[in-house]
Amino acid sequence: MRVGIAGIAGRMGRLLVEESRAAGHEVIGGTVNRSPGPPDLPIMTLAELADAADVVIDFTHAGTALSHAAAMAEARKPWVLGTSGLTATDEAAVDVAATRIPIVYAANFGPGINILLALARQLGASLPAEQYDAEILEMHHRQKVDAPSGTAIALGRAVAEGRGVSFEQSMESGRHGHTGARKPGAIGFAALRGGQVVGEHTLLFASASEHISLSHRALDRRVFATGAVRAAAWVRSQPPGRYTMTHVLGLSS
Ligand code: NAD
């Protein structure tokens, strides 16, 4: 498989080169923004990359989502998208592109977190929202530019799906000052930033008489690159549509 990597100079981009090659794929080049890319690989525009590649893996910046969605749909090539911090407008553009090409878009490409997402949905369905308060705590490295993390939001969405409620109306994030009492049914978020933490997430359900928590700690961001390369091999044979890592792993239909 010929793989193109958008954001090839980034932390994820460099790991994606290594992991693609380790899986036996050919890396045909990539796109960069400011930093120079690897000296041994051609740097091109996204349109050129999409034309030349069988699949493009994209871990860049949310500001690229609109133009990348248009270019990928135009090139009619599968797209594995890992960039976090997408706005509702960006998400809508991904949905439009997904009518023409297959896209795997996941907040977290690690297998462990995707199993946790399935469990979060199950616990959301099983534990009554009026008795069990859902709170999500995450910590990431000091360079991370968005909060809460895409993975924390995905966990919150899974709980809301399990509860059969709107995530947007349940989300309670960035508490500060005189907030008043916790809203019944809220899904709360807290974000810590510091050091070089790759990614830590805890989902807590707290009732008056018990606490249940699910925790995940990514020790090496390579786990995301390995998952994204696996998604790239999978998405090639899919019809147009928007998929997530749970589809790649066979955890959802
Ligand atoms: P990074 O800052 O090290 O790398 C991003 C790279 O993209 C940088 O080199 C930047 O110059 C480049 N870039 C920005 N705009 C570009 C453009 N228009 N064209 C080409 N390159 C461009 O960050 P990172 O740690 O590699 O993470 C990248 C993204 O992936 C972030 O949004 C991060 O949150 C996300 N991420 C997702 C997962 C996941 O599993 N979904 C895992 C890790 C990181």
**pLDDT exceeds cutoff 80 at 228:** yes
Question: Which pLDDT score is estimated for 39?
Answer: 84
For the residues 225-243, what does the mean pLDDT come to? 98
Distance 171 CA to ligand 1 centre (A): 26
Ligand 1 centroid–CA 182 distance in Å is 35
Q: Which of 34-43, 55-64, 77-86, 200-209 has the lowest mean pLDDT?
A: 34-43
pLDDT of residue 209: 98
**Model pLDDT, residue 35:** 83
Q: Check whether 134 has a pLDDT greater than 80.
A: yes
Pocket of ligand 1 (CB under 6 A): 6-7, 9-13, 31-35, 59-61, 64, 82-85, 106-109, 221, 224
Residue with CA at minimum distance from ligand 1 atom 31: 83
Residue 11 pLDDT > 90: yes
pLDDT tens, position by position, 16-73: 999 999 999 999 999 999 888 888 999 999 999 999 999 999 999 999 999 999 999 9
For residue 30, the ligand 1 atom closest to its alpha carbon is 20
Task: Take atom 11 of ligand 1 and give the residue whose Cα is closest.
Answer: 33
Of all protein residues, whose CA lies closest to atom 9 belonging to ligand 1?
Answer: 10
Mean pLDDT value of segment 225-250: 96
Query: What does the pLDDT read at residue 253?
Result: 61
> Would you say residue 95 has pLDDT above 70?
yes
Residue of 35, 59, 84 best suited for mutating to test ligand 1, as the one with most atoms within 8 Å of CB:
59
pLDDT at residue 83, as a whole number: 96
Give the distance (Å) from ligand 1 centre to CA of residue 154: 18
Is this structure's pTM higher than 0.95?
Answer: no
Nearest atom (ligand 1) to Cα of 85: 32
Instruction: Identify the CA nearest to 79 among candidates 232, 186, 224.
Output: 232
Nearest CA to ligand 1 atom 1: 10
For the cut 70, the answer to whether the pLDDT of residue 195 exceeds it is yes
Average pLDDT of the segment spanning 107-130: 94
Q: What is the Å distance from ligand 1's center to 181 Cα?
A: 37
Report the residue among 8, 11, 12, 244 best suited for mutation to probe ligand 1: largest number of ligand atoms under 8 A from its CB. 12
Give catalytic residue positions: 140, 144
Q: What is the mean pLDDT of residues 195-211?
A: 97
Indicate whether 252 pLDDT > 80: no
Of 205, 225, 201, nearest to 82 by C-alpha is 225
Average pLDDT, integer, range 201-228: 97
DSSP the chain: -EEEEETTTSHHHHHHHHHHHHTTPEEEEEE-SSS---TTS-B--HHHHHHH-SEEEE-S-GGGHHHHHHHHHHHT--EEE------HHHHHHHHHHTTTSEEEE-S---HHHHHHHHHHHHHHHHS-TTT-EEEEEEEE-TT--SSS-HHHHHHHHHHHHHHTS-HHHHEEE---SS--SPPTT-EEEEEEE-TT--EEEEEEEE-SS-EEEEEEEES-THHHHHHHHHHHHHHTTSPSEEE-HHHHTTS--
Whole-number pLDDT of residue 101: 98
Residue 131 has pLDDT above 90, yes or no: yes
Q: State the distance from the centre of ligand 1 to the C-alpha of 61, rounded, in angstroms.
A: 5
